[in-house]
Structure 1
Amino acid sequence: MEITPQPAAPQPYRGQVQAVVFDWAGTLVDFGSFAPTQVLIDAFAGFGITVSMAEARLPMGLAKWDHIQALGRQDGVARRWQQQHGRAMSDADVDTLYATFLPLQIERVAAYSDPIPGAIEVLATLRARTIRIGSCSGYPRVVMDKLLPHAVSQGIRVDHAVATDDLAAGGRPGPWMALANVLELGITDVRACIKIDDTVPGITEGLAAGMWTVGLSLSGNETGLSLAELAALSPAETAVFRDRAAAKLNAAGAHYVIDTIAGLPAIVDAIEARLARGEQP
């Protein structure tokens, strides 16, 4: 009897973390992730449709055209659109909304995009450890081209940035933007990478790319409060927001959930210890 040779089992990666791939809004900049959501609310308002902040946040992490389409399919928004326009929202309506949204987003993105506390220091720590700094976003390229120089002026500099419309394959929740960072940065193993994000599609992206994933419970979309609003809460109130966001990100498969980017260096240490033991993402 002929025996078909079996492929050798892949060897575990036991080296150091080589790269961290960051999301932008709610992760590196824009505490509470307001730039994408508030502008979407304003774009819908121009068509006579009231959208709440909670509704606008539900599809966060997707490319903005997809975000608008998903928002328009939510029961409440779809009902209000039907009442206002006498028909369901079509893809042509999504195109029109997107064309309205995009100039507003370009105009306002810098105003919302101050660095999240700890971000500048964490990036410096990673560089001191020779860890490459990648990034990707649900923003299209024209918005990223406005955001990136503003971020540099504020002390946020990455080694590579991928916009959601840079790749023919598309954006989140697929792995392509994260993997484009792997290629550009010359990373030798996806298991040496960490994807950090404040949204479920961003966690799904990192998992699909074979990376370790870190969710953010307080600085981003899942809590959706400004830094001042969060600071005004009692410890008990903060815990409610933290636990609710962490439950959602953990359910999406995040390997770790931390409050903000400031907690990332300790997670890098923990992941490197697990890799040394032969554990894999």
Structure 2
Amino acid sequence: MHQVHPFQYKRVYSGSVKAVICDWAGTTVDFGSVAPIRAFQALFESHGVSASEAEAREPMGTEKSEHIRRMLAMPAIQKQWQASKGRASTEEDVQALYHEFLPMQIESIRANSALIPGWLVSAQTLREQGIKLGGNTGYSTEMYQALAEVAREYGYVADANVCATEVSKGRPYPYMSQAVMEKLEVAEAQACVKVDDTETGIEEGLNAGMWTVAVAISGNANGLTQPEWDSLNEGQQQVIRKKSYQRMAMSGAHYVIDSVADLPEVVADINEKLAKGIQP
């Protein structure tokens, strides 16, 4: 009779980071992640529903039809919908709204997808280390095509990208990040870093077994555009920074930073941890 050993073997990866997988809006482009918010607010306004910025931001990071579904489930929005339409919303309404949303979102993306300051320098620094740069997003493929075109005009092209509509389930499921790993031909999740500005995006990276880095200032947790942020004095910025850092730390991220401009230092720290056998 064979003896069963009372332990499991766990492989320890001690190499360096091979891939960094970044979200797009609020992480690598669109400071403040305003493109989706403006489009969602305009969409609901066209149906007689006034959605606040906080309501529009709450489901951020999810696939966009799911985002609409969650907004309609909010009591205040559902109440307005019923007052406007004379009935409760249905799944057919979700799909109809999504098709209306597509051109509105694409137009908003084209107007609000400048690169996050410092990203080109960070991307070059990481690529010089042999690190591959992937992307994933709650945007559909049509939305991503518009975004990628703008990013290319600013000088950045990802090595691979996966959209939420290309996998069976979007965030917080790990499938998008895993699909990017496959495209980049990286076998070890421990060698990957997932960077995101939403809690659900960080959860995606954690579920994939990756290192996770939350950006607190450039994205959804802050919600201010670059000019709005720059107009604040240092004291005002510190108040918002503290609140945004606390919020993103609650996501379980391994690291919280202002923006991707700070990413090379984080990757260097992760490399030191990996060399010591520390795993995400």
TM over 0.5: yes
1:256 partner amino acid: Y
Task: Give distance in 2, aligned partners of 1:56 and 1:132.
Answer: 33
| Secondary structure of 1:123 counterpart | helix
1:173 partnered with 2:160? no
Regions of 4+ moved over 3 Å:
5-8
- Which whole-Å deviations, capped at 9, do the CAs of 1:77-113 have from their partners, x for residues lacking one? 1221122222222111111111111111122312100
Task: Give distance in 2, aligned partners of 1:235 and 1:158.
Answer: 33
1:230 partner amino acid: W
Task: Give distance in 2, aligned partners of 1:116 and 1:184.
Answer: 24
Structure 1 position 135, deviation (Å): 0.5
Task: Give distance in 2, aligned partners of 1:81 and 1:247.
Answer: 34
1:98 partner amino acid: Y
Task: Give distance in 1, aligned partners of 2:120 and 2:164.
Answer: 24
1:255 partnered with 2:254? yes
Match of residue 107 from structure 2? 107
The number of aligned residues is 280
8 Å CA contact 2:194–2:211 kept in 1: the answer is: yes
| Secondary structure of 2:165 counterpart | coil
8 Å CA contact 2:36–2:108 kept in 1: the answer is: no
Range with bigger deviation, 229-238 or 47-56 = 229-238
Structure 1 position 141, deviation (Å): 0.4
TM-score when scaled to structure 2?
0.97
1:162 partnered with 2:162? yes
1:101 partner amino acid: F
Task: Give distance in 2, aligned partners of 1:53 and 1:278.
Answer: 43
Structure 2 matches for 1:141-152, cutoff 5 A? 141-152=141-152
Residue identity (%): 40
Q: Which runs of 5+ in 1 are unaligned?
A: none
TM-score when scaled to structure 1?
0.96
Range with bigger deviation, 197-206 or 98-107 = 98-107
8 Å CA contact 2:38–2:108 kept in 1: the answer is: no
| Secondary structure of 1:253 counterpart | coil
- When the two chains are superposed, the root-mean-square deviation of aligned CA atoms in Å is 1.3
Structure 1 position 6, deviation (Å): 4.7
| Secondary structure of 1:136 counterpart | strand
